[in-house]
Amino acid sequence: MISSLRALPHTTYLRAIPYAVVAAVAIGVPSDLIDNPIFGRPVPIRPIDYVIWAITSLLIGLIFAIRLPPSQAEAQDRNEVRTVWGGFASFLAVGCPVCNQLVVLLLGSGGALSWWAPAQPFVGAAAIGLVLWALRTRLQTYELTACPLPRALSTS
């Protein structure tokens, strides 16, 4: 996968920056990793939250920057669904455990702190894994469609 990333055109990395920023804002504002007046967070932010947030945002930006030709639209759509789910899992992993209404409804505020909070880094690892899988799939599909045929095969 590293060699595939090195083979990408340099413009892909420039295109990835705005996508990564949008992903970072979309995850960071509601989870209050980016301080804002709309959302609050009674539980302090852990350093692992910033790591999960940064990695998933960068990977999401890179995935959306790698554009496939229109003939690969179905593969691109499946890949983007995986990417969005990875971003959502990342949001769950870095969000405040007692601010998640579904978790509080299911576990109560005590359960959110004693059960959900310790599980969040594992959810973050799963989110990173899901986004890495989406990136790997995108790179494989990109390689299949972007590589020209050798000259001997194309002139027959």
What is the Cα–Cα distance from 128 to 51, expressed in whole angstroms? 10
Tell whether 152 is covered by a domain: no
Tell whether 151 is covered by a domain: no
Tell whether 115 is covered by a domain: yes
Higher pLDDT, 103 or 24: 24
Contact 60, 23 (CB under 8 A): yes
What is the Cα–Cα distance from 60 to 98, expressed in whole angstroms? 26
Tell whether 88 is covered by a domain: yes
Say whether pLDDT at 148 is over 70.
no
Count of domains for the chain:
1
Tell whether 154 is covered by a domain: no
Tell whether 155 is covered by a domain: no
What is the Cα–Cα distance from 4 to 149, expressed in whole angstroms? 18
Contact 120, 99 (CB under 8 A): no
Q: Each residue of 27-57: pLDDT tens digit?
A: 999 888 998 888 888 888 999 999 999 999 9
Domain enclosing residue 64, as ranges? 2-145
Tell whether 124 is covered by a domain: yes
